Amino acid sequence: MTVLAIARASLTRLVRDRTALFFLVVLPVLVIVLVGATVRGFSTWKVGVVDEGAGAAGQRLVAALDRSPDLAVDHYPTVRAMSTAIARGELNTGVVLPARMDEAERGGSRTSVGLVFEQANSSMQAAATAVAAVVRAEGVRVQAAQFATAQAGGTFATNLSQAARLEGRLPRAQVRTVAAQASSSILPEGFSYAAPTELVLFVFLSAVAGGAATVETRRLGIYERIVAAPVRPRDVIAGETLNYLVIALGQSLLIVAVGALAFGVSWGDPIAAALLLVCWSLVGAGAGMLAGTLFKTPEQASGIGPVVGITLGMLGGCMWPLAMVSPVMRQVGHATPQAWAVDAWTALLARGGTLATVLPDLAVLAGFAAVFLLLATHRLRHVLAG
């Protein structure tokens, strides 16, 4: 009861606090909409192609890319030349058609089409997504043709023998999966990378900035008033934790909803995603409460809080993937909870991860949350003791 009263008062204040609401609602939605609009808004992406001897299959794919209204294809002699063009911003993405793609396709074996783009660049991510979609569609067509030829049987001797080999070696269900594939990126493409990293960034950032409310409660002497009432310190701590948790979860759900409804972001395995949201919200709650007990003035919290949030976000892979940074920086990054949360989202969204895949990340996040909450509890007890 007193726990709820304490959480309720803090939440009522939050609703009236324009600065807090800006960080909590306006800014994340604004950024999502901006990034989302940029990613979707470009009319044509410039795609470079390097053909390493893919034969007819490669030509078919280039034709398909050419047919796509979103893509303009340019040929490059080497991967190196194409990479330079990408680095200069002349291209949005590059495609590498592997040698003997044709044979591989006809042989029904796997073949990989390489995609070259900068993962930190959201428009490149989007271009890569568009190219990947064309490659996949083409793959399905090739596969269907292979299958039809195999099924129809008998016009071409070679085809027949191929079909025979296919049927003999592979069960039907597996034949479907044999196709040209985009080389699987370790990251979710396009906007699906931006949305979860923003969630990780903003939930933490606004929790720490939101510590200002606790600093104010402290400075106004309201905790003294609470302690003078028949309220146990642990109820005060529970009430404040609940308050921060509700804020973090609320913001998470807002970002999930905006991402999903407005931009079709898929958030992956629902149970794993939900647990990840809860873990991350607990991390945010702990960090926010800790900030509330450490900062001296509300201005410090709302000024330094975002700086801390952004710095940890950068280190932890919220701004650019840690896959691109040096191993040392990657290790340093994993000292932040952000890195583990981003890893977990990446596993869920790009690799179709499940609860089992992200369990280690969740455990680490739970550990961070526990440490933050324990420290905050300790500090708050100290505050309450006068």
Partner 1 sequence: MGDDVLRCDRLRRTFGARVAVDDVSFRLAPGEVYGLLGPNGAGKTTTIKMVCGLLDPDGGTVTIGGRPARDDLSVRRMVGYVPQDVALYPDLTATENLAFLGRLYHLRGRELAARIDEALELTDLASRGGDRVDSFSGGMKRRLNIAAGLLHHPALLVLDEPTVGVDPQSRHAILERVDSFGRTGMSVLYTTHYMEEAERVCDRVGIIDHGRLIAEGTRRELVAELGQKDRIELAADGDLETLAAACRRTGGVERASVADGTVQLVAADGRRTLPAVIEAAEHAGVPVRSVDVTEPDLEAVFLHLTGTALRE
Count H helices, E strands: the chain?
17, 5
Q: How is the beta sheet containing 71-75 ordered, strand by strand?
A: 71-75, 45-51, 93-97, 111-116, 180-182
Burial class (CB in 10 A: 0-12, 13-18, 19+), 271: exposed
Q: Give residue 258's Cα distance to chain centre.
A: 14
- Region binding partner 1 by CB under 8 A among candidate stretches 5-13, 164-172, 257-265, 267-275: 5-13
Q: What's the closest the beta carbon of residue 11 comes to partner 1, in angstroms?
A: 11
Cα separation, 7 vs 123, whole angstroms: 41
Interacting residue with partner 1 among 66, 74, 90, 224 (CB under 8 A): 224
Burial class (CB in 10 A: 0-12, 13-18, 19+), 293: buried
- Region binding partner 1 by CB under 8 A among candidate stretches 47-55, 61-69, 163-171, 215-223: 215-223
Q: Give CA separation, 136 vs 75, 91, 141, 182, 278, in Å.
A: 20, 21, 9, 7, 35
Q: What's the closest the beta carbon of residue 299 comes to partner 1, in angstroms?
A: 15
Contacts for 327 with CB less than 8 Å, ≥ 6 apart: none
Determine if 351 is a binding residue for partner 1 (CB under 8 A): no
- Region binding partner 1 by CB under 8 A among candidate stretches 41-49, 77-85, 165-173, 228-236: 228-236
Determine if 227 is a binding residue for partner 1 (CB under 8 A): yes
Determine if 229 is a binding residue for partner 1 (CB under 8 A): yes
Question: Toward partner 1, which CB reaches closer, 168 or 230?
Answer: 230
Question: Toward partner 1, which CB reaches closer, 37 or 220?
Answer: 220
Determine if 11 is a binding residue for partner 1 (CB under 8 A): no
Interacting residue with partner 1 among 2, 59, 84, 181 (CB under 8 A): 2
Strand 71-75 versus strand 111-116 pairing type: unpaired
Residues 160, 162, 163, 165, Cα dihedral to 10°:
120
Question: Toward partner 1, which CB reaches closer, 69 or 386?
Answer: 386
Question: Toward partner 1, which CB reaches closer, 6 or 62?
Answer: 6
Helix (H/G/I), strand (E/B), else coil: 79: helix
Determine if 297 is a binding residue for partner 1 (CB under 8 A): no
Residues 129 and 189: beta-carbon distance below 8 Å? yes
Residues 179, 184, 125, 357, Cα dihedral to 10°:
130
Q: What's the closest the beta carbon of residue 238 comes to partner 1, in angstroms?
A: 13
Interacting residue with partner 1 among 77, 168, 327, 386 (CB under 8 A): 386
Interacting residue with partner 1 among 80, 225, 378, 382 (CB under 8 A): 225
251-270 binders of partner 1 (CB under 8 A): none
- Region binding partner 1 by CB under 8 A among candidate stretches 12-20, 35-43, 105-113, 309-317: 12-20
Q: What's the closest the beta carbon of residue 132 comes to partner 1, in angstroms?
A: 50
Looking up tokens 């499940």, which residue turns up?
Answer: 354
Q: Give CA separation, 80 vs 51, 75, 84, 99, in Å.
A: 13, 12, 6, 16
15-34 binders of partner 1 (CB under 8 A): 16-17
Determine if 299 is a binding residue for partner 1 (CB under 8 A): no
Question: Toward partner 1, which CB reaches closer, 9 or 294?
Answer: 9
Determine if 69 is a binding residue for partner 1 (CB under 8 A): no
Give the count of residues interacting with partner 1 (CB under 8 A). Answer: 25
**Residue 279: which of 192, 353, 180, 373 has the closest Cα?**
373
Residues contributing to the site for partner 1 (CB under 8 A): 1-2, 4-6, 8-9, 12-13, 16-17, 217, 220-222, 224-232, 386
